[in-house]
Each structure stands twice: as C-alpha cells, then as structure tokens.
C-alpha cells in the first residue's frame, strides 16, 4: 500500500468524516557505520530514508483517543487518564509513552483522533519505532500548540522507548529521523549532541536486504549495553579522563585486557573499533575514497559477528554473498542486530542488478526469501 501526505489526509476524512487539523511524517533510518556506539557517547554515520510513518489528526473533546492504522488495518482506543499501565508488546505503547513523557515535561496533550500508516518494514532495523515516535511527537506538539528543541524531542522518544517499551536504546534512531536531509548522511556525535549532514558519495546507491529474521531489542540489546557499561567502569578506574567507551583507544583497551571480563572485553573492542571506523570513514568520504569507506563497512560486520555477537547466520550470509557481487562497495548489518536488515553501499549504475543478485544468492545459500529495496536519503521529520 502506498502512503503519502495526500493519502493520509484522505484516509482521515474517510475514517472520521472530517478534515484533519495537523499531519506529519517522520522517516526511518539506516545505520551506515557506527554500531552500538550511541549509548557509549560515540559517533555514528546514518541516513534518513525515503520511507516514513505518516499521521493525520484532530483534537477530540474529553480524554479518549482513537488511532487507526490504515497500513496494518488495526486500531486502538485509549484514555489519557489511564496511561500508567503499558500492555506488553502493544504498538499503542509508542503513542502512550510519548504522551506520558510530554506530560513529565509540562506539556499536556489533548485527546485526539488519528489515522496513521507507515511504509517502513516493522522490526527490521530501520527504526520504524523511532519514526512512529517522531511522527506522533511532531504531530502532538503541534496539536497542543507547543514546540520543543529537536534534541529534547529526540529524548522524549528515547524515554518512551526506555521506560514505556523496555528497550534501553540510545538516541541514534530519533536523531536520524529528525535530522535527515535528502542526498545526505547524518554524522552524529553523542557526547556533544551535535549533528551535521555529509553528502552521500556521488554515483553510489543504498541497497537494503532484509534477512526477514524479526528482531526484538528488549533482551540481548540491554545485555550488550550492560557489558559496555561494565567495561567502561573498569577502564574509567584505570585511565583518568575516561567517562565512556568513546574515550578509550584501542591501545588502552589492549593494555587493560587482563582486567576485563573476556566477554565484556570483546563487546568493548567492537565499540572502540566502531568509533575508530566512523572517524576513519568520514575522513575517507571527505577524500572521496568510497572504496576505503566500503571496506570499513565490511570490517564493521566482521566485528559484529565475532566481537559483539549481534549478527546471526542470516545476516552473515547476506554480507558474505555480497562480497563479490559486481558493484559492491561495502555491506554490514544495520541497527541493533540479532536479525533485521543489512545495508549495502553499491555503485549506482549496478544497483538494480545488484539488488536482484543479492536476493538470488541469499535464496540459493539459505533457502530464504529476502526483501530487497533500493533506498534514497530523505529529509527528516516535518509537519505536512
Ligand atoms: C538500535 C537502537 C539505537 C542504536 C542501534 C545500534 O537501533 O535503537 O539507539 O543503539 O540499535 O547502533
């Protein structure tokens, strides 16, 4: 189903028999380089994609809200006076959590009717959840006649995810969804909370291949984060000036290896390596060294497989088959891991043939069908 700014407004009229007051969209994202570095105060290169969650809404009297998802053919009704008890696994948590977190910041959201729809694959690693939060966040602020600095809105989304959904994720997904720019990557620094847009290298395209293994970030993701925090605490005692894994060099990590739990050491090695690769990768892009950048993407995947252990056989297979397809520059898993998607940087004139070939080789190797798509770098969240 194709969902657009015009179609979401039209759907609202069809469902509720009135014009919406406000409409918004927020895109999904791909993590291009820098895996699990955000909550370690590190750096990431990501991109907002041309797939998004759209929402149209109008205020209602009283406290009861109704939300209809036209893409999934599903709906929820909930009362603003009863938001304290999230239903485990329910998609309405993303909306209720945003309302609760706005409330904690002194912003009271009126009751509303909304129609939503998304073109982002769900639970795949393209941040359908951050797009959900940021589209509703943008819409709800406007509906309440309020505004908020973009970083604060990102933190509202993160708090919704951490407290209401139960995944202790960082800020990458919300930052990418808010600060994307057509034709550009987003370089984010999660210590200074500064972002800048970097042009996507000319003549390249992004191919996304979905392993179709659904990921769930509430268990293993939280475990990985705890490992990183344990390692950082040990390293902070050894090295003055270390506040997070972001501050540790590969040499310091090696020198401290015997003092770290062996598993925590490998988790830290991944994060420290990823921060190094992001810095090397952005230097490579500045110099127009796209091949060098692609090699860093492959190195990132290797480190996920062996050090962070957030890959899986299917993700490994998608990257393995990619390595000698004509036009490939680099490929790796994207996002939390444990399933979901891989992102491939390819020469643009090979993109169509490449996409078909990845799917064919994945099928041949695993017997599984991969959903493959060519994604463009799109603009960040906005009112429509
Ligand atoms: C998920 C989280 C992000 C980030 C990535 C891994 O997408 O939501 O905060 O940690 O995983 O880089």
- Reported as a single tens digit per residue, the pLDDT across 96-129 is 999 999 999 999 999 999 999 999 988 788 999 9
Q: What is the mean pLDDT of residues 27-40?
A: 98
Q: How far is the CA of 7 from the centre of ligand 1 (A)?
A: 31
Pocket of ligand 1 (CB under 6 A): 31, 35-36, 38-39, 169-170, 172-173, 335-336
Q: How far from the centroid of its chain's Cα atoms is residue 202's Cα?
A: 24
pLDDT for the residue 218: 66
At 87 the pLDDT is: 82
- 173: annotated active-site residue: yes
**Contact call for residues 319 and 301 (beta carbons, < 8 A):** yes
Count the alpha carbons within 13 Å of 131 in the hemisphere toward its beta carbon: 32
DSSP three-state, residue 304: helix
The tokens 């009229």 sit on which residue? 13
* 128 Cα: distance to centroid of ligand 1 (angstroms): 12
Q: Which atom of ligand 1 is nearest to the CA of 172?
A: 9
Q: Where are the domains of the chain?
A: 5-198, 204-375
List pLDDT tens digits, range 335-380: 999 999 999 999 999 999 999 999 999 999 999 999 999 999 999 9
DSSP state of 125: S
For helices 128-143 and 172-179, give the axis angle rounded to 10 degrees. 60
Residue nearest (by alpha carbon) to ligand 1 atom 9? 170
Nearest CA to ligand 1 atom 11: 336
> How does the average pLDDT of the chain come out, rounded?
96
Mean pLDDT confidence for 140-154: 97
CATH architecture of 5-198: 2-Layer Sandwich (3.30)
Whose CA is closest to atom 8 on ligand 1?
169
Beta strands in the chain (DSSP E): 22-33, 43-59, 64-69, 74-79, 112-118, 184-189, 194-199, 204-210, 328-333, 341-347, 371-375, 382-383
Q: What percent of the chain has pLDDT over 70?
A: 99
Q: Sort strands 64-69 and 112-118 into parallel, antiparallel or unpaired.
A: parallel
If you count them, how many residues does the chain have? 384
pLDDT at 308: 98
Mean pLDDT confidence for 269-276: 98
Instruction: Give CA–CA dist 124/53, Å, rounded.
Output: 15
Distance CA 368, CA 327 (A): 23
Structure tokens at 140: 């709800």
Alpha helix ranges (H) inside 70-203: 93-104, 128-143, 150-159, 172-179
The CA 11 to ligand 1 mean position distance, Å, reads 32
> Residue 73's CB: how many other CB atoms inside 10 A?
8
Please give the class, per CATH, of domain 204-375: alpha beta
248: left (phi over 0), alpha (psi -120 to 50) or beta: beta
Q: CA 263, CA 50: separation in Å to the nearest integer?
A: 38
Q: Give the atom of ligand 1 at the shortest distance from the alpha carbon of 130.
A: 8
| 259-282: average pLDDT | 98
Record the tokens describing residue 281, joined without a space: 């990768």
The yes-or-no verdict on residue 216 having pLDDT over 80 is no
Burial class (CB in 10 A: 0-12, 13-18, 19+), 177: buried
Pick the catalytic residue from 38, 69, 173, 264: 173
**285 Cα distance to chain centroid:** 22
Q: Give the whole-angstrom CA distance, residue 254 versus residue 251.
A: 5
C-alpha to C-alpha distance for 115 and 5, rounded to whole angstroms: 12
- Tell me, what's the pLDDT at 86? 80
Distant-in-sequence, close-in-space partners of 283: CB < 8 Å, separation ≥ 6:
none
pLDDT of residue 88: 82
- pLDDT tens digits, residue range 52-71? 999 999 999 999 999 999 99
Could you give the residue ranges of the DSSP H alpha helices within 239-289? 250-255, 262-286
DSSP class of residue 306 equals: I
36 Cα nearest atom in ligand 1: 12
């Amino acid at each position: 189903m194709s969902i657009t700014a015009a179609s979401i407004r039209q759907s609202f009229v069809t469902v509720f028999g009135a014009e919406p007051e406000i409409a918004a969209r927020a895109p999904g994202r791909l993590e291009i380089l820098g895996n699990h570095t955000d909550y370690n105060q590190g750096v990431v290169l990501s991109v907002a994609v041309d797939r998004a969650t759209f929402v149209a809404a109008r205020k209602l009297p009283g406290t009861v809200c109704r939300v209809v998802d036209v893409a999934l053919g599903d709906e929820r009704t909930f009362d603003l006076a009863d938001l304290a008890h999230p239903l485990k696994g329910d998609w309405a948590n993303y909306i209720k959590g945003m309302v609760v977190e706005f409330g904690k910041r002194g912003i009271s959201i009126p009751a509303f009717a909304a129609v939503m729809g998304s073109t982002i694959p769900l639970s795949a690693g393209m941040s359908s959840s951050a797009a959900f939060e940021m589209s509703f966040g943008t819409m709800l602020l406007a509906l309440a006649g309020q505004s908020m600095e973009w970083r604060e809105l990102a933190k509202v989304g993160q708090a919704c995810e951490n407290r209401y959904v139960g995944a202790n994720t960082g800020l990458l997904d919300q930052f990418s969804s808010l600060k994307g720019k057509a034709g550009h990557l987003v370089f984010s620094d999660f210590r200074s909370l500064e972002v800048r847009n970097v042009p996507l290298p000319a003549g390249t395209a992004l191919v996304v291949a979905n392993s179709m293994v659904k990921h769930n970030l509430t268990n293993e993701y939280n475990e990985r984060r705890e490992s990183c925090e344990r390692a950082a605490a040990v390293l902070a005692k050894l090295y003055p000036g270390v506040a997070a894994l972001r501050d540790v060099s590969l040499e310091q990590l090696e020198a401290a290896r015997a003092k770290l739990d062996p598993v925590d050491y490998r988790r830290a090695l991944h994060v420290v390596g990823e921060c190094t690769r992001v810095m090397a990768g952005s230097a490579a892009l500045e110099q127009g060294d796209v091949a060098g950048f692609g090699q860093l993407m492959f190195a990132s995947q290797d480190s996920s497989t062996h050090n962070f252990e957030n890959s899986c056989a299917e993700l490994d297979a998608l990257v393995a088959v990619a390595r000698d397809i004509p036009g490939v520059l680099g490929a790796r898993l994207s996002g939390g891991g444990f399933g979901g998607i891989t992102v491939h940087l390819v020469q643009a004139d090979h993109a169509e043939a490449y996409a078909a070939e990845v799917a064919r080789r994945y099928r041949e190797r695993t017997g599984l069908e991969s959903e493959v798509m060519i994604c463009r770098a799109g603009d960040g969240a906005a009112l429509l």
